[in-house]
Structure 1
Amino acid sequence: MCGNHQSFDAYAFSRQPGFDEAAVRKEFAKAVPLKTVVVYCYDPRIAQVPRLVAHEFGQTHPGEIVTDGNGSKIASTTNVFEVCVAGGRAYDALRSVTVAQHLFGIENIVIVHHTHCGATSFTKEGIIDAYKQEHGADIEQLYPAESICISDYTASLEHDVLLMRDFAGTPKHANIYGYMYDIDEEKLIKVAQSLAA
Protein backbone atom coordinates (compact mmCIF):
# COMPACT_ATOMS: atom_id res chain seq x y z
CA MET A 1 0.00 0.00 0.00
CA CYS A 2 1.11 3.53 -0.64
CA GLY A 3 1.81 5.61 2.42
CA ASN A 4 0.39 9.10 2.63
CA HIS A 5 -2.82 9.46 0.70
CA GLN A 6 -5.98 11.45 1.08
CA SER A 7 -9.26 9.93 2.13
CA PHE A 8 -11.57 9.47 -0.81
CA ASP A 9 -14.62 8.84 1.38
CA ALA A 10 -15.91 12.36 0.68
CA TYR A 11 -16.63 11.18 -2.86
CA ALA A 12 -18.68 8.12 -1.85
CA PHE A 13 -22.43 8.70 -1.91
CA SER A 14 -22.98 6.12 0.84
CA ARG A 15 -20.59 7.96 3.20
CA GLN A 16 -22.42 11.29 3.08
CA PRO A 17 -24.38 12.54 6.09
CA GLY A 18 -28.07 11.75 5.73
CA PHE A 19 -27.45 9.25 2.93
CA ASP A 20 -30.78 7.90 1.66
CA GLU A 21 -30.14 4.95 -0.65
CA ALA A 22 -33.61 4.93 -2.21
CA ALA A 23 -33.49 8.67 -2.95
CA VAL A 24 -30.00 8.46 -4.44
CA ARG A 25 -31.09 5.58 -6.64
CA LYS A 26 -34.02 7.65 -7.98
CA GLU A 27 -31.65 10.52 -8.75
CA PHE A 28 -29.27 8.20 -10.62
CA ALA A 29 -32.13 6.93 -12.78
CA LYS A 30 -32.99 10.53 -13.72
CA ALA A 31 -29.40 11.71 -14.23
CA VAL A 32 -28.46 9.24 -16.95
CA PRO A 33 -30.95 8.15 -19.63
CA LEU A 34 -29.40 4.69 -19.89
CA LYS A 35 -31.19 2.36 -22.27
CA THR A 36 -28.54 -0.07 -23.51
CA VAL A 37 -25.51 -1.85 -22.08
CA VAL A 38 -23.00 -2.91 -24.73
CA VAL A 39 -20.54 -5.67 -23.84
CA TYR A 40 -17.57 -5.73 -26.19
CA CYS A 41 -13.87 -6.54 -26.39
CA TYR A 42 -11.18 -4.18 -25.17
CA ASP A 43 -9.39 -4.47 -28.54
CA PRO A 44 -8.64 -0.85 -29.57
CA ARG A 45 -9.51 -1.66 -33.19
CA ILE A 46 -13.20 -1.78 -32.23
CA ALA A 47 -13.48 1.37 -30.11
CA GLN A 48 -16.32 2.61 -32.34
CA VAL A 49 -18.64 -0.29 -31.39
CA PRO A 50 -20.66 1.67 -28.75
CA ARG A 51 -21.33 4.45 -31.26
CA LEU A 52 -22.46 1.90 -33.87
CA VAL A 53 -24.71 0.16 -31.35
CA ALA A 54 -26.24 3.53 -30.41
CA HIS A 55 -26.91 4.21 -34.08
CA GLU A 56 -28.43 0.73 -34.53
CA PHE A 57 -30.91 1.41 -31.71
CA GLY A 58 -31.57 5.10 -32.44
CA GLN A 59 -29.73 6.19 -29.31
CA THR A 60 -26.93 8.56 -28.31
CA HIS A 61 -23.26 7.83 -27.73
CA PRO A 62 -21.04 9.36 -26.51
CA GLY A 63 -23.46 12.16 -25.66
CA GLU A 64 -22.64 15.22 -23.58
CA ILE A 65 -21.58 15.67 -19.96
CA VAL A 66 -24.08 17.74 -17.97
CA THR A 67 -22.73 20.14 -15.34
CA ASP A 68 -24.42 22.02 -12.53
CA GLY A 69 -24.04 25.72 -11.69
CA ASN A 70 -20.76 25.03 -9.90
CA GLY A 71 -19.27 23.22 -12.88
CA SER A 72 -19.55 19.80 -11.24
CA LYS A 73 -20.15 16.96 -13.68
CA ILE A 74 -23.51 15.58 -12.57
CA ALA A 75 -25.01 13.66 -15.49
CA SER A 76 -24.69 12.55 -19.11
CA THR A 77 -26.91 12.41 -22.18
CA THR A 78 -25.61 9.05 -23.44
CA ASN A 79 -28.02 6.14 -23.75
CA VAL A 80 -25.29 3.49 -24.08
CA PHE A 81 -23.05 2.20 -21.30
CA GLU A 82 -19.90 0.33 -22.17
CA VAL A 83 -18.57 -2.86 -20.58
CA CYS A 84 -15.17 -3.78 -22.06
CA VAL A 85 -13.95 -7.32 -21.39
CA ALA A 86 -11.68 -9.82 -23.13
CA GLY A 87 -13.43 -11.17 -26.21
CA GLY A 88 -16.64 -9.33 -25.34
CA ARG A 89 -17.73 -12.37 -23.34
CA ALA A 90 -20.95 -12.07 -21.32
CA TYR A 91 -19.67 -13.99 -18.29
CA ASP A 92 -17.33 -11.14 -17.39
CA ALA A 93 -20.11 -8.55 -17.70
CA LEU A 94 -22.79 -10.11 -15.48
CA ARG A 95 -22.19 -7.95 -12.39
CA SER A 96 -22.04 -4.77 -14.50
CA VAL A 97 -25.45 -5.55 -15.99
CA THR A 98 -26.92 -6.11 -12.52
CA VAL A 99 -25.55 -2.79 -11.26
CA ALA A 100 -26.69 -0.91 -14.40
CA GLN A 101 -30.22 -2.22 -13.93
CA HIS A 102 -30.25 -1.39 -10.22
CA LEU A 103 -29.06 2.19 -10.66
CA PHE A 104 -30.47 3.21 -14.01
CA GLY A 105 -32.87 0.62 -15.45
CA ILE A 106 -32.03 -0.80 -18.86
CA GLU A 107 -33.95 -1.91 -21.94
CA ASN A 108 -31.29 -3.67 -24.02
CA ILE A 109 -28.14 -5.69 -23.54
CA VAL A 110 -25.96 -5.98 -26.64
CA ILE A 111 -23.09 -8.47 -26.69
CA VAL A 112 -20.57 -7.90 -29.48
CA HIS A 113 -17.81 -10.23 -30.67
CA HIS A 114 -15.51 -9.22 -33.51
CA THR A 115 -13.54 -10.64 -36.40
CA HIS A 116 -9.82 -11.33 -35.90
CA CYS A 117 -10.29 -11.43 -32.10
CA GLY A 118 -7.41 -12.52 -29.89
CA ALA A 119 -9.85 -14.74 -27.96
CA THR A 120 -9.88 -17.02 -31.05
CA SER A 121 -6.08 -17.46 -30.95
CA PHE A 122 -6.05 -19.98 -28.09
CA THR A 123 -8.02 -22.93 -26.77
CA LYS A 124 -9.34 -23.57 -23.28
CA GLU A 125 -6.73 -26.30 -22.84
CA GLY A 126 -3.97 -24.09 -24.22
CA ILE A 127 -4.51 -21.21 -21.81
CA ILE A 128 -4.96 -23.56 -18.83
CA ASP A 129 -1.73 -25.44 -19.65
CA ALA A 130 0.18 -22.20 -20.26
CA TYR A 131 -0.82 -20.83 -16.86
CA LYS A 132 0.27 -24.04 -15.15
CA GLN A 133 3.66 -23.99 -16.88
CA GLU A 134 4.35 -20.26 -16.86
CA HIS A 135 2.79 -19.17 -13.57
CA GLY A 136 2.37 -22.35 -11.54
CA ALA A 137 -1.35 -21.55 -11.27
CA ASP A 138 -4.34 -23.79 -12.00
CA ILE A 139 -7.06 -21.61 -13.55
CA GLU A 140 -9.23 -24.48 -14.81
CA GLN A 141 -11.98 -23.91 -12.24
CA LEU A 142 -11.93 -20.10 -12.38
CA TYR A 143 -13.99 -19.70 -15.54
CA PRO A 144 -16.72 -21.72 -17.23
CA ALA A 145 -15.21 -23.69 -20.13
CA GLU A 146 -17.69 -22.15 -22.59
CA SER A 147 -16.63 -18.60 -21.69
CA ILE A 148 -12.83 -18.66 -21.66
CA CYS A 149 -12.14 -18.48 -25.41
CA ILE A 150 -13.98 -18.24 -28.73
CA SER A 151 -13.72 -21.19 -31.10
CA ASP A 152 -16.99 -20.62 -33.00
CA TYR A 153 -18.37 -17.08 -33.23
CA THR A 154 -22.01 -18.04 -33.76
CA ALA A 155 -21.94 -20.60 -30.95
CA SER A 156 -20.23 -18.16 -28.56
CA LEU A 157 -22.76 -15.39 -29.27
CA GLU A 158 -25.70 -17.78 -28.88
CA HIS A 159 -24.18 -19.07 -25.64
CA ASP A 160 -23.59 -15.56 -24.29
CA VAL A 161 -27.12 -14.38 -25.13
CA LEU A 162 -28.60 -17.40 -23.31
CA LEU A 163 -26.18 -16.99 -20.39
CA MET A 164 -27.25 -13.37 -20.01
CA ARG A 165 -30.96 -14.27 -20.32
CA ASP A 166 -30.75 -17.03 -17.68
CA PHE A 167 -28.74 -14.92 -15.21
CA ALA A 168 -30.81 -13.84 -12.18
CA GLY A 169 -29.27 -10.35 -12.29
CA THR A 170 -30.55 -9.69 -15.81
CA PRO A 171 -33.89 -7.88 -15.85
CA LYS A 172 -36.61 -10.00 -17.47
CA HIS A 173 -37.90 -6.98 -19.42
CA ALA A 174 -34.56 -6.46 -21.22
CA ASN A 175 -33.99 -7.46 -24.83
CA ILE A 176 -30.68 -9.25 -25.37
CA TYR A 177 -28.82 -9.23 -28.67
CA GLY A 178 -25.66 -10.87 -29.96
CA TYR A 179 -23.81 -9.07 -32.75
CA MET A 180 -20.71 -9.77 -34.77
CA TYR A 181 -18.58 -6.76 -35.66
CA ASP A 182 -16.63 -7.07 -38.90
CA ILE A 183 -13.46 -5.03 -38.38
CA ASP A 184 -12.65 -4.69 -42.07
CA GLU A 185 -16.18 -3.78 -43.18
CA GLU A 186 -16.83 -1.73 -40.01
CA LYS A 187 -20.35 -3.08 -39.63
CA LEU A 188 -22.48 -4.92 -37.09
CA ILE A 189 -24.27 -8.15 -38.01
CA LYS A 190 -27.02 -9.48 -35.74
CA VAL A 191 -26.44 -13.18 -34.97
CA ALA A 192 -28.65 -13.96 -31.96
CA GLN A 193 -31.37 -12.42 -29.83
CA SER A 194 -33.63 -13.11 -26.88
CA LEU A 195 -36.46 -10.60 -26.73
CA ALA A 196 -38.35 -9.80 -23.55
CA ALA A 197 -41.47 -11.91 -23.09
Structure 2
Amino acid sequence: MSKFVEFTFRAQPGYSEPAARELLTGSIPVRTIAIHCFDPRAAGIPKAVADYFGDEVYPGDLILNEDGQMVGATATVFPLVIGGGRAADALRSITVSQYLFGLERVVVVHHSFCGASSFSEEGIVDSWKREQHRDISSLYDWDGIRIADFEQSLNYDVSLIRNNPGTPKHLEIYGLFYNIDSGELTEVVRDVPAKAAP
Protein backbone atom coordinates (compact mmCIF):
# COMPACT_ATOMS: atom_id res chain seq x y z
CA MET A 1 0.00 0.00 0.00
CA SER A 2 1.26 3.50 -0.81
CA LYS A 3 2.75 5.57 1.97
CA PHE A 4 0.54 8.44 0.78
CA VAL A 5 -2.80 6.65 1.18
CA GLU A 6 -3.51 8.56 4.42
CA PHE A 7 -3.83 11.72 2.34
CA THR A 8 -6.81 10.43 0.35
CA PHE A 9 -10.43 11.15 1.20
CA ARG A 10 -11.22 7.47 0.75
CA ALA A 11 -8.86 6.46 3.59
CA GLN A 12 -10.49 8.75 6.16
CA PRO A 13 -12.61 7.20 8.93
CA GLY A 14 -16.27 7.05 8.02
CA TYR A 15 -15.59 7.84 4.36
CA SER A 16 -18.68 8.20 2.21
CA GLU A 17 -18.48 9.26 -1.44
CA PRO A 18 -21.67 11.37 -1.31
CA ALA A 19 -20.45 13.11 1.86
CA ALA A 20 -17.00 13.75 0.36
CA ARG A 21 -18.63 15.19 -2.75
CA GLU A 22 -20.83 17.47 -0.65
CA LEU A 23 -17.82 18.60 1.37
CA LEU A 24 -15.83 19.47 -1.76
CA THR A 25 -18.75 21.25 -3.41
CA GLY A 26 -19.29 23.32 -0.27
CA SER A 27 -15.67 24.27 0.35
CA ILE A 28 -14.40 24.87 -3.18
CA PRO A 29 -16.86 27.11 -5.05
CA VAL A 30 -15.79 26.43 -8.63
CA ARG A 31 -18.21 28.03 -11.07
CA THR A 32 -16.01 28.66 -14.08
CA ILE A 33 -13.17 26.72 -15.67
CA ALA A 34 -10.83 28.89 -17.74
CA ILE A 35 -8.92 26.76 -20.25
CA HIS A 36 -5.80 28.54 -21.47
CA CYS A 37 -2.26 28.04 -22.70
CA PHE A 38 0.71 27.34 -20.45
CA ASP A 39 2.65 30.18 -22.07
CA PRO A 40 3.83 32.45 -19.20
CA ARG A 41 2.68 35.47 -21.22
CA ALA A 42 -0.87 34.15 -20.81
CA ALA A 43 -0.74 33.94 -17.00
CA GLY A 44 -3.14 36.89 -16.65
CA ILE A 45 -5.99 35.02 -18.32
CA PRO A 46 -7.79 33.66 -15.21
CA LYS A 47 -7.95 37.14 -13.63
CA ALA A 48 -9.05 38.63 -16.96
CA VAL A 49 -11.82 35.99 -17.19
CA ALA A 50 -12.97 36.80 -13.63
CA ASP A 51 -13.09 40.50 -14.51
CA TYR A 52 -14.80 39.84 -17.85
CA PHE A 53 -17.75 38.09 -16.23
CA GLY A 54 -17.80 40.42 -13.24
CA ASP A 55 -19.28 37.97 -10.75
CA GLU A 56 -16.23 35.72 -10.51
CA VAL A 57 -13.31 35.60 -8.06
CA TYR A 58 -9.65 34.95 -8.93
CA PRO A 59 -7.22 34.29 -7.35
CA GLY A 60 -9.26 34.45 -4.14
CA ASP A 61 -8.07 33.33 -0.72
CA LEU A 62 -7.36 30.00 0.90
CA ILE A 63 -9.57 28.96 3.79
CA LEU A 64 -7.83 27.39 6.80
CA ASN A 65 -9.41 25.39 9.62
CA GLU A 66 -8.55 25.81 13.30
CA ASP A 67 -5.56 23.47 12.86
CA GLY A 68 -4.16 25.58 10.02
CA GLN A 69 -5.02 23.01 7.35
CA MET A 70 -6.12 24.26 3.94
CA VAL A 71 -9.74 23.19 3.66
CA GLY A 72 -11.13 25.43 0.95
CA ALA A 73 -10.80 28.50 -1.21
CA THR A 74 -12.83 31.50 -2.28
CA ALA A 75 -11.79 31.42 -5.96
CA THR A 76 -14.64 30.69 -8.35
CA VAL A 77 -12.49 30.62 -11.51
CA PHE A 78 -10.20 27.63 -11.83
CA PRO A 79 -7.51 27.76 -14.51
CA LEU A 80 -6.92 24.68 -16.61
CA VAL A 81 -3.51 25.22 -18.17
CA ILE A 82 -2.87 23.23 -21.36
CA GLY A 83 -0.51 23.62 -24.31
CA GLY A 84 -2.28 25.93 -26.78
CA GLY A 85 -5.29 26.15 -24.48
CA ARG A 86 -6.98 23.49 -26.63
CA ALA A 87 -10.15 21.85 -25.34
CA ALA A 88 -9.30 18.29 -26.38
CA ASP A 89 -7.07 17.92 -23.34
CA ALA A 90 -9.66 19.49 -21.00
CA LEU A 91 -12.66 17.22 -21.55
CA ARG A 92 -11.91 14.82 -18.69
CA SER A 93 -11.35 17.71 -16.28
CA ILE A 94 -14.72 19.25 -17.20
CA THR A 95 -16.50 15.96 -16.43
CA VAL A 96 -14.70 15.46 -13.10
CA SER A 97 -15.15 19.12 -12.08
CA GLN A 98 -18.88 18.94 -12.75
CA TYR A 99 -19.16 15.84 -10.60
CA LEU A 100 -17.11 17.21 -7.71
CA PHE A 101 -18.00 20.89 -7.70
CA GLY A 102 -20.78 21.68 -10.13
CA LEU A 103 -20.04 24.17 -12.90
CA GLU A 104 -21.84 27.04 -14.54
CA ARG A 105 -19.40 28.02 -17.26
CA VAL A 106 -16.43 26.85 -19.30
CA VAL A 107 -14.30 29.45 -21.03
CA VAL A 108 -11.74 28.57 -23.70
CA VAL A 109 -9.18 31.30 -24.22
CA HIS A 110 -6.66 31.37 -27.06
CA HIS A 111 -4.00 34.07 -27.04
CA SER A 112 -2.11 36.18 -29.55
CA PHE A 113 1.18 34.81 -30.90
CA CYS A 114 0.57 31.38 -29.39
CA GLY A 115 3.14 28.71 -30.18
CA ALA A 116 0.28 26.49 -31.38
CA SER A 117 -0.11 28.90 -34.31
CA SER A 118 3.54 28.45 -35.36
CA PHE A 119 3.41 24.91 -36.75
CA SER A 120 1.47 22.81 -39.21
CA GLU A 121 0.44 19.18 -38.94
CA GLU A 122 2.86 18.30 -41.72
CA GLY A 123 5.73 20.16 -40.09
CA ILE A 124 5.40 18.53 -36.69
CA VAL A 125 4.76 15.04 -38.14
CA ASP A 126 7.78 15.26 -40.47
CA SER A 127 9.97 16.61 -37.69
CA TRP A 128 8.89 13.84 -35.35
CA LYS A 129 9.76 11.21 -37.98
CA ARG A 130 13.22 12.69 -38.51
CA GLU A 131 14.07 13.46 -34.90
CA GLN A 132 12.22 10.77 -32.91
CA HIS A 133 11.89 8.09 -35.63
CA ARG A 134 8.18 7.67 -34.94
CA ASP A 135 5.04 8.27 -36.96
CA ILE A 136 2.50 10.38 -35.06
CA SER A 137 0.42 11.32 -38.11
CA SER A 138 -2.69 9.46 -36.87
CA LEU A 139 -2.11 10.02 -33.16
CA TYR A 140 -4.12 13.24 -32.75
CA ASP A 141 -6.99 15.19 -34.21
CA TRP A 142 -4.77 17.96 -35.55
CA ASP A 143 -7.63 20.48 -35.71
CA GLY A 144 -7.66 20.23 -31.92
CA ILE A 145 -3.92 20.87 -31.46
CA ARG A 146 -2.56 23.42 -33.89
CA ILE A 147 -4.10 26.85 -34.45
CA ALA A 148 -4.32 28.08 -38.02
CA ASP A 149 -7.04 30.66 -37.36
CA PHE A 150 -8.23 31.84 -33.93
CA GLU A 151 -11.91 32.08 -34.85
CA GLN A 152 -11.84 28.55 -36.27
CA SER A 153 -9.95 27.13 -33.28
CA LEU A 154 -12.30 28.73 -30.76
CA ASN A 155 -15.41 27.61 -32.65
CA TYR A 156 -13.95 24.10 -32.90
CA ASP A 157 -13.13 23.91 -29.19
CA VAL A 158 -16.49 25.27 -28.03
CA SER A 159 -18.23 22.75 -30.30
CA LEU A 160 -16.01 19.92 -29.05
CA ILE A 161 -16.92 20.72 -25.44
CA ARG A 162 -20.63 21.16 -26.17
CA ASN A 163 -20.88 17.84 -28.05
CA ASN A 164 -18.96 15.78 -25.50
CA PRO A 165 -21.25 13.46 -23.49
CA GLY A 166 -19.23 14.38 -20.38
CA THR A 167 -20.29 18.03 -20.65
CA PRO A 168 -23.42 19.00 -18.74
CA LYS A 169 -26.12 20.45 -20.99
CA HIS A 170 -26.69 23.48 -18.74
CA LEU A 171 -23.12 24.82 -19.08
CA GLU A 172 -22.44 28.16 -20.66
CA ILE A 173 -19.45 27.82 -22.99
CA TYR A 174 -17.45 30.75 -24.32
CA GLY A 175 -14.52 31.14 -26.67
CA LEU A 176 -12.42 34.25 -25.98
CA PHE A 177 -9.32 35.72 -27.59
CA TYR A 178 -6.68 37.26 -25.30
CA ASN A 179 -4.24 39.89 -26.52
CA ILE A 180 -1.05 39.22 -24.53
CA ASP A 181 0.17 42.81 -24.97
CA SER A 182 -2.98 44.68 -23.94
CA GLY A 183 -4.56 42.06 -21.68
CA GLU A 184 -7.83 42.58 -23.54
CA LEU A 185 -10.34 39.75 -23.96
CA THR A 186 -12.57 39.60 -27.03
CA GLU A 187 -15.57 37.30 -27.15
CA VAL A 188 -15.53 35.19 -30.30
CA VAL A 189 -17.99 32.39 -29.48
CA ARG A 190 -20.92 32.20 -27.08
CA ASP A 191 -22.85 28.94 -26.60
CA VAL A 192 -25.41 29.56 -23.87
CA PRO A 193 -28.37 27.22 -23.51
CA ALA A 194 -31.70 29.03 -23.89
CA LYS A 195 -32.73 28.59 -20.24
CA ALA A 196 -29.38 30.06 -19.09
CA ALA A 197 -29.59 33.10 -21.39
CA PRO A 198 -30.13 36.44 -19.57
Distance of 2:50 and 2:139 partners within structure 1: 33
Equivalences for residues 110-121 of structure 1 within 5 A: 110-121=107-118
- Which of 155, 161, 176 aligns to 2:158? It is 161
Distance of 1:141 and 1:16 partners within structure 2: 44
Distance of 1:12 and 1:169 partners within structure 2: 24
Measured against aligned partners, the alpha-carbon deviations of 1:121-163 in whole angstroms (never above 9, x if no partner) come to: 1001111111111111222222112112000110000000000
**Unaligned stretches of 5+ in structure 2?**
none
Q: Which residue of 1 aligns with 2:20?
A: 24
- Which of 130, 134, 138 aligns to 2:135? It is 138
Matching residue's letter, 1:12: T
Matching residue's letter, 2:173: I
Q: Which residue of 2 aligns with 1:42?
A: 38
Q: Is the 8 A contact 2:84 2:146 kept in 1?
A: yes
SS at match of 2:186: strand
Distance of 2:14 and 2:166 partners within structure 1: 29
1:87 corresponds to 2:81: no
Matching residue's letter, 1:8: F
Give the TM-score taking structure 1 as reference length: 0.94
Worse-matched range after superposition: 136-145 or 175-184:
136-145
Tell me: CA distance 1:17–1:139, structure 2 relative to 1, closer, same or farther (3 Å): farther
SS at match of 1:70: coil
Give the alignment's Cα RMSD to 1 decimal.
1.1
Q: Which residue of 1 aligns with 2:5?
A: 9
Runs of 4+ in 1 over 2 A off after TM superposition: 15-18
SS at match of 1:98: helix
Number of paired residues? 192
SS at match of 1:131: helix
Distance of 2:178 and 2:111 partners within structure 1: 4
Distance of 1:158 and 1:30 partners within structure 2: 33
Distance of 1:127 and 1:102 partners within structure 2: 36
C-alpha deviation, 1:183, in angstroms: 1.1
Matching residue's letter, 2:86: R
